[in-house]
Chains A and B, each alone.
Chain A
């Protein structure tokens, strides 16, 4: 076992898959000699050469487009869009081209494309670098959307994403990049897409959390355990397809559910989970499903705004106490 950061887990996943399959390649802004804007492709350019790890112009639409065309013609591209906030620049290639190609042409083309991107809420980088936009892509049939919260999950899910024949949006949270976890380097770590993970079992309340919120929910659960409240924390890990079976089974045991997310409520992940739970587990719920999210505003820059806007350990604890009152 080796202690690995989330960032190195991502690099390891790409390196292992590029060694395993020569069809895998990586393109994006600053991914080659610079090793990635956030260091998430360090060493790959040297290991695999300039054709398989390549810097692109700052042209998001053609970065994704290149991945689409390469995937249709037998390659397994990984393309990096530095921040998810930049998806506005390349959504046509994602939504109209990548997502529909397999469907439209009845499986004539596979689309083994991974789009790696970052969400950077609560990192003080202002309104164009702080949005958790997973709902944009979770809304589109044909796309898979992955959002790991730990180094091990990041590695295992990315390796699976690269081997998947569908377009996968792989959303890394930048604030997690330095998080460490023990990972067995010798293992071919594959975590299936579409499987939720119960990060902490509990009997009193189910908390569904994603990305940065998973750690906060686990901290809250630790504190609440001291008060005799046993919170179950589930990380769906994959936003689409969403493992509702695991969430429903949990709520049937705990009878209460809270969703904690960095994304807004309207038409968002937390609303989707709440709606599914009321359809599938209504008569098991002792109280309404609670959604804990930032309010419906852009993310302003100034210090203090983020702490004010985003759910934190205290607000999770407060909400849990209210639900169990």
Chain B
């Protein structure tokens, strides 16, 4: 898709893009399916009124988290949003404590303090979700600056939606990261709707990637339903960041199958549009590609699917059976000792 780069100093890797080993295919597919299972099963739990609070479903966008995190090392950092389950799983957060957190249980990764919009795990570089649209973007610059101060080649990827690209925080962070040449990936998952408002009503430019030009950095719009394209674009961006070529703005064109939250009637978009995007489903299409290219046997894909379904079901069962936090726990951790 479209690329906008003010300079061509970096070695372009497009020619080498798209390649896929069986092992890579297995790993990408396993992550896609695990996220999809989570979203599908959580929606079912929500429909039965068993979920406390809202669900911001990631269904439809799985290739974004999966592709970008596949390009990152375990010691790289990510920061995500209120729609962060895909990123948590793709970056390596363990399924059960993640799921228990979604339900606000005592054994959740944040002890039930975060709930559906907030989880973190510094051991795998996850620096949190966020309840504020655009709230994570400014502090991504700080993680990237830590890497610079340390002289390490770690990078930080911050995920946000196209809605956040209209926040001042996005523009301030892009400008500073560009001026300071920070090792940072700005990953905009453009699912076309900022909550319930079509992006085209709130911006004159249809492509967020074009905004990179205004800050003098590399910007690229990628098919966010193609996990390999996402991974390859992220790899090139990571390579630039690690080698001192600074930040990249990646725009991943994607679609949110559900509404802003489960229960949103989606009366601001058409069923036809939804159907068109579902034809480009990132999980089904990748599965078809694996089979067409003979990368993995069908039996292996089925095993991956069965395993994900069963592990997610167990995690949800565990979460449902887990205790709520002790209320007095609310008084702890306000300040570090």
User: Could you tell me which A residues sit within 8 Å of B by CB distance?
Assistant: 25, 51-52, 54, 56-57, 59, 61-62, 64-75, 77, 92-93, 96-97, 101-111, 141-142, 144, 165-166
Q: A73-B127, A77-B142 known; A57 and B175 CB under 8 Å?
A: yes
Which residues of A sit under 8 angstroms from B137, Cβ to Cβ? 65
| Nearest A residue to B127, CB-CB | A72
Asked whether, in the complex, the Cβ of B168 is within 8 Å of the Cβ of A66, the reply is no
Q: A65-B141, A65-B142 are in contact. List 17 more A-B contacts (CB 8 A).
A: A52-B149, A57-B175, A57-B179, A61-B169, A65-B172, A69-B79, A72-B122, A72-B139, A72-B143, A73-B143, A96-B131, A96-B132, A102-B335, A102-B336, A108-B110, A108-B120, A142-B335
20 A–B pairs (Cβ distance < 8 Å), ordered by A: A62-B169, A62-B173, A66-B138, A66-B176, A69-B79, A69-B141, A69-B156, A72-B127, A73-B142, A92-B169, A97-B135, A97-B139, A102-B335, A103-B333, A104-B128, A105-B114, A106-B110, A141-B334, A144-B335, A166-B335
- Choice from A56, A65, A142 contacting B334 with Cβ under 8 Å: A142
Report B102-133 CB contacts with A as 1/0, cut-off 8 Å: 00000000110110001011100001101110
Closest 9 CB pairs of A and B: A65-B138, A69-B142, A69-B139, A70-B142, A165-B336, A59-B172, A62-B172, A73-B146, A68-B139
Taking each of B121, B127, B138, which has the highest tally of chain A beta carbons within 10 Å of its own beta carbon? Answer: B138
Q: A59-B175, A62-B141, A65-B142 known; A105 and B169 CB under 8 Å?
A: no
Q: What is the number of residues of chain B that contact chain A, defined by CB distance less than 8 Å?
A: 43
Taking each of B140, B145, B148, which has the highest tally of chain A beta carbons within 10 Å of its own beta carbon? Answer: B145
Asked whether, in the complex, the Cβ of A70 is within 8 Å of the Cβ of B132, the reply is no
Question: Complex formed: what's the CA distance from A101 to B139 in Å?
Answer: 11
Which residues of A sit under 8 angstroms from B175, Cβ to Cβ? 57, 59, 62
B70 interfacial contact with A, CB 8 Å? no
B188 interfacial contact with A, CB 8 Å? no
User: Could you tell me which B residues sit within 8 Å of A by CB distance?
Assistant: 77, 79, 110-111, 113-114, 118, 120-122, 127-128, 130-132, 135, 137-146, 148-149, 156, 168-169, 172-173, 175-176, 179-180, 332-337
- Choice from A93, A111, A141 contacting B336 with Cβ under 8 Å: A111
- Choice from A65, A108, A165 contacting B139 with Cβ under 8 Å: A65
| Nearest A residue to B121, CB-CB | A108
| Nearest B residue to A95, CB-CB | B132
Q: A57-B175, A66-B141, A97-B135 known; A107 and B336 CB under 8 Å?
A: yes
Which residues of B sit under 8 angstroms from A70, Cβ to Cβ? 142-143, 145-146, 149
Asked whether, in the complex, the Cβ of A71 is within 8 Å of the Cβ of B142, the reply is yes
Within the complex, the shortest CB–CB distance from A317 to chain B, in Å, comes to 39
Which residues of A sit under 8 angstroms from B149, Cβ to Cβ? 25, 51-52, 70, 75
| Nearest A residue to B330, CB-CB | A103
Which residues of A sit under 8 angstroms from B333, Cβ to Cβ? 102-103, 106-107
Which residues of B sit under 8 angstroms from A166, Cβ to Cβ? 335-336
Which residues of A sit under 8 angstroms from B144, Cβ to Cβ? 69
Which residues of B sit under 8 angstroms from A61, Cβ to Cβ? 138, 168-169, 172
| Nearest A residue to B176, CB-CB | A62
Q: A57-B176, A59-B176 known; A69 and B169 CB under 8 Å?
A: no
Which residues of B sit under 8 angstroms from A103, Cβ to Cβ? 113, 333-334
Asked whether, in the complex, the Cβ of A68 is within 8 Å of the Cβ of B336, the reply is no
Question: Complex formed: what's the CA distance from A66 to B114 in Å?
Answer: 22
Asked whether, in the complex, the Cβ of A92 is within 8 Å of the Cβ of B146, the reply is no
